[in-house]
Amino acid sequence: MGTMQATRQKVIGWRWSQFSGTIGGRVALVLVLAAAAIAGCTGGGTTGTQPPGGTAPAESSGGTAPSTGPASQPAGGSAADACAVLTPAEIEAELGVPMKEGVLDEFGGGSAADCTWESEDPTKGASVLVTIEPFDATTWELYFKLGTEDLPTVQLPGIGDEAVLVGGTILGGLVAVHKGSTLAIIQVLGVGLDQAVVEAAREPLARIVASRI
């Protein structure tokens, strides 16, 4: 339970549905973003830029612009399928450590779910968390605001309809995939692993997830 709890602590900022409903969690996330913006205005750092009246651009060469359409309702990838998007063997192939079967956790009134895979050897501290939920354009735009000049949010071409590696220090390292009416969020952690291996695993695992939602 220790590793899973650590994973949940890591993602509590973006899993707004874990709070008292979707709206309450989103408000919490907006407050975090507002605090970051204020820090930037007072010399505390640089946040992702946003053109007047538009969506913050992704730092990418060849990706598509972030979605600006209305929020969608779930249709394709079912939240109940969160544990069907990856296998322990596929994760082991990327991280190099044997993984347990995924554990499903539904939330948001059943409209969303996540699945957590943990390493069989707890000393490796490897965890992969995938969340499947309805796509929301407003939330998608927030990912770009989280990027900084040094750690920008970048687009990952060829994954789903669009995908980004979230930048910044708050949620940096998450991969968010938009496909149809579904949003998948992939987080890879490995306290006892080479961090270069952890970072290299994010994109190939995201491609597998995108192919199954």
pLDDT digits (tens, 9 = 90+) for 66-99: 433 333 333 345 666 899 999 999 999 999 999 9
Q: Please tell me what DSSP assigns to residue 119.
A: B
Distances (CA, A) of 153 to 112, 163, 197: 24, 10, 20
Please give the model's pTM, rounded to 2 decimal places. Answer: 0.67
Residues 6+ apart with CB under 8 A from 24: 16
pLDDT of residue 35: 45
Query: How does pLDDT run across 139-179, given as a tens digit for each residue?
Result: 898 888 888 888 899 999 999 999 999 988 888 889 999 99
Across the range 32-61, mean pLDDT stands at: 41
The structural domains of the chain, with segments of one domain joined by +, span: 2-49+69-211
Query: How does pLDDT run across 114-146, given as a tens digit for each residue?
Result: 999 999 998 888 999 999 999 999 989 888 888
pLDDT of residue 21: 36
Domain boundaries 2-49+69-211, corresponding CATH code: 3.40.1000
The shares of helix, strand and coil residues in the chain, as percent rounded to the nearest 5, are 40, 20, 40
**pLDDT of residue 210 exceeding 70:** yes
User: Measured between alpha carbons, how far is 118 from 88 in angstroms, rounded to an integer?
Assistant: 9
pLDDT band at 42 (very low <50, low <70, confident <90, very high): very low
Across the range 192-200, mean pLDDT stands at: 91
pLDDT of residue 78: 61
**pLDDT of residue 209 exceeding 90:** yes
